[in-house]
Amino acid sequence: MSGYCHKKSYTLRYTDFDFKDELKPSSLLALAQEAAASSADELGFGYEALKAKNYGFIVVQTCCELFAPARLGETLTVETWPLPPRHVIFERDYRIGNKFGEIIALLASRWCLIDLPRFSMLLPEALGEVHARCPYNPARALPAPEWKIRRIADGEECGRHKVVLSDCDHYLHVNNARYADLFLDRLPPDGKKLRSFKISYARQAKEGAELVFFKKTTERGAVMEAREGSELIAQFEMASEDEP
């Protein structure tokens, strides 16, 4: 792929795997988050640089397609790059592979730049010179995803969770990777393999919030929602298939 691409390798740990010895989606999202932070540091708009301005990036949507299993002790290479921003939306894609050249996963994500004291969205120009010289790369890891997840009209309640401090990141709301566990923990094991998932983050949930989860089974998998009272907090859509 021509154009800017940040590459970094990570060795998988025992804690990255679930009871079936499969890489947890939350661990996959954590790898992507680490690589995104490293790339942003390299480009001049990382966490510390933005903190000085009271700015921050928050992820609003993530789409992931899974292709091959990862193995304990394996080293995965994460490639990531920012796409040209569109109004207040910053896109970032990822390619995750192993040493054999196999693609483990492809991800697309959408972010917003936030003025933290006002919690208002900012245009790319707020980054100043680092935006003007940023080597944005228009290549896509995935075809432009269908980002919208339809609301659940008649789903069933499938669990509750009271947000604790260990769920939260440095912005004091639930970390984006944590939602993958919160949703998947409320689905019964069915012997199927996860093939894709999307998460959409509508509002921030902070310590003490009680999240109520709802689900609806679909032909391909399930759609789920996390709500706090009447407010939508996050949505999850997944597709799975029978194990070979």
Per-domain boundaries in the chain:
6-132, 156-242
pTM of the model: 0.93
What letters, b where the CB count within 10 A reaches 16 and e where it falls short, cover 161-187? Answer: bebeeebbeeeebbbbbbbbbbbbebb
Each residue's pLDDT, cut to its tens digit, for the chain (244 residues) gives 679 999 999 999 999 999 888 899 999 999 999 999 999 999 999 999 999 999 999 999 999 999 999 998 899 999 999 999 999 999 999 999 999 999 999 999 999 999 999 999 999 999 999 999 999 999 999 998 889 999 998 889 999 999 999 999 988 999 999 999 999 999 887 778 899 999 999 999 999 999 999 999 998 999 999 999 999 999 999 999 876 6
CATH 3.10.129.10 applies to domain 156-242: yes
Residue 132: the pLDDT is: 95
Residue 241: the pLDDT is: 84
Residue 244: the pLDDT is: 63
CATH 3.10.129.10 applies to domain 6-132: yes
Give the orientation angle of helix 176-184 with respect to helix 25-43, to 10 degrees.
Answer: 170
Q: Cα–Cα distance between 137 and 93 in angstroms, integer?
A: 10
Residue 200: the pLDDT is: 97
Give yes or no on whether 6-132 and 156-242 have one common fold: yes
